C-alpha cells in the first residue's frame, strides 16, 4: 500500500494490476467451480462420461486418456453449458464493469466516503480485513481494486450474500468469507491473518462484546496491522460511534480529509474515522526524533 506521501510524490506502484486476461481466466475458473459445486455427484459423473466419450471419438485411439485431459474436457463442457463468452466478447463488457466497480457509488457509497480517499494508495494484493455486515460495500470496493480481502461477520446470511455478490461480479478470486462470532475475541482459526494494509470495522459487530472483550479485540487488530497500516472505523452504529473508540488507538494518527476541512458551510456528518498506525513503535519514534536533532 502506498503512503499519502507516495501519492503526493507521484510514486510508481510497486506491483502492477492484474491484466484483463488474468481476470478472465479467474472469472472462468470461478464459474466452472461454482457450477461443479451446484450439481449433484450423479450429474458430475455423467459429465465425466460425456467427456470420456468425446475424447475417445476425437482421439480415435491415438493416445491414452489422462486425468488432465478429462478435467480439461469437463471444464470445456461446463463452459458450453453455461454459454460463457470467449475472451474478446467478455472483455468488451468487463472493462466497463471493472471501471464502474472501482467507484464507491457502484456499491451505494458516497464518492467522498472515508474509504474513497484511500483507494489511490491501494496496490494489487494488498491485504485487507473487513469486519461486520455493515461493511459489506467496503468488501466489494476493496476487491475491485485487487486487494486480497478477508470478510468476517457474525451471521451466515451476510457471509453468503457477500460470497454470492463477489462471484456474480467476478471479484471472488482473492476473497475469503468467514462466519465468526466476535464476543470471545479474534477467531483463533484466523490467526494467520496479519500484516494487514487495510482494516475496515463496522462497530455494530462489537456491540455484543463486553467492554474488556471489545478493547482486547481492537488491540489485537492493531497488532495485526503492519506499520503504516490503516484502520477505517465506520459510522454505522449509533450505539458505538468511531470517536468512542479513538482513545484505544494510542499513537495512531487521524487521517483527515483535506476537502472536508475546507468545507465551512453545511458541514456533513463524518461517515467514519481513518486512523494510521505509526511506522515504528511509539518508544522507537521518540528515539528517532532525538537522534535527528
Domains within the chain, CATH numbers bracketed: 21-87 (no CATH), 109-292 (3.40.50.150)
Cα–Cα distance measured from residue 37 to residue 222, given in angstroms and rounded to the nearest whole number: 37
| Residue-level pLDDT at 287 | 42
Q: Which of the listed ranges 28-32, 76-80, 189-193 does the model predict with the highest average pLDDT? A: 76-80
What CA–CA distance (Å, rounded) separates 4 from 228? 10
245 and 204 Cβ atoms separated by less than 8 Å:
no
Mean pLDDT computed over 57-84 = 79
**Torsion angle of C-alpha atoms 152, 115, 175, 127, degrees rounded to 10:** -90
- Angstrom CA distances, 108 to 195, 246, 270, stand at 29, 26, 16
Quote the mean pLDDT of the chain: 84
pLDDT in tens, 105-163: 999 999 989 999 899 999 988 999 999 999 999 999 999 999 999 999 999 999 999 99
Residue 264, classified by CB atoms within 10 Å of its CB into exposed (0-12), middle (13-18) or buried (19+), is exposed
**pLDDT band for position 185 (cuts 50, 70, 90):** confident
Lowest mean pLDDT of 17-31, 59-73, 210-224, 262-276, name the range. 262-276
Please state, in angstroms and rounded to a whole number, the distance separating the CA atoms of residues 273 and 275. 6
Is residue 177 scored above 80 in pLDDT? yes
Lowest mean pLDDT, pick from 197-201, 209-213, 245-249: 209-213
Amino acid at each position: 500500500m502506498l503512503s499519502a506521501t507516495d501519492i503526493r510524490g507521484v510514486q510508481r506502484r510497486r506491483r502492477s494490476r492484474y491484466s484483463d486476461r488474468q481476470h478472465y481466466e479467474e472469472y472462468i475458473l470461478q464459474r466452472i467451480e461454482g457450477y461443479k459445486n451446484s450439481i449433484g455427484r450423479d450429474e458430475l459423473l455423467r459429465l465425466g462420461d460425456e467427456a470420456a466419450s468425446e475424447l475417445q471419438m476425437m482421439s480415435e485411439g491415438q493416445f491414452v486418456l489422462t486425468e488432465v485431459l478429462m478435467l480439461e474436457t469437463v471444464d470445456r463442457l461446463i463452459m458450453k453449458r453455461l454459454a460463457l463468452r470467449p475472451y474478446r466478447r467478455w472483455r468488451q463488457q468487463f472493462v466497463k464493469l471493472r471501471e464502474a466497480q472501482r467507484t464507491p457509488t457502484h456499491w451505494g457509497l458516497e464518492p467522498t466516503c472515508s474509504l474513497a480517499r484511500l483507494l489511490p494508495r491501494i496496490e494489487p494484493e494488498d491485504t485487507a480485513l473487513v469486519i461486520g455486515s455493515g461493511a459489506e460495500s467496503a468488501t466489494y470496493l476493496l476487491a475491485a481494486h485487487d486487494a486480497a480481502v478477508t470478510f468476517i461477520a457474525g451471521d451466515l446470511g451476510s457471509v453468503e450474500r457477500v460470497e454470492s455478490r463477489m462471484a456474480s461480479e467476478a471479484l471472488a478470486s482473492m476473497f475469503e468469507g468467514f462466519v465468526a462470532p466476535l464476543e470471545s475475541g479474534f477467531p483463533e482459526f484466523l490467526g494467520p491473518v496479519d500484516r494487514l494494509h487495510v482494516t475496515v470495522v463496522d462497530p455494530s459487530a462489537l456491540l455484543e462484546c463486553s467492554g474488556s472483550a471489545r478493547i482486547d479485540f481492537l488491540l489485537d487488530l492493531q497488532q495485526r496491522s503492519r506499520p503504516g497500516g490503516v484502520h477505517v472505523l465506520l459510522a454505522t452504529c449509533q450505539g458505538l460511534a468511531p470517536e468512542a473508540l479513538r482513545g484505544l488507538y494510542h499513537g495512531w494518527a487521524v487521517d483527515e480529509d483535506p476537502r472536508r476541512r475546507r468545507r465551512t458551510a453545511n458541514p456533513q456528518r463524518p461517515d467514519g474515522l481513518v486512523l494510521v498506525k505509526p511506522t515504528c513503535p511509539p518508544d522507537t519514534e521518540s528515539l528517532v526524533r532525538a537522534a535527528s536533532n
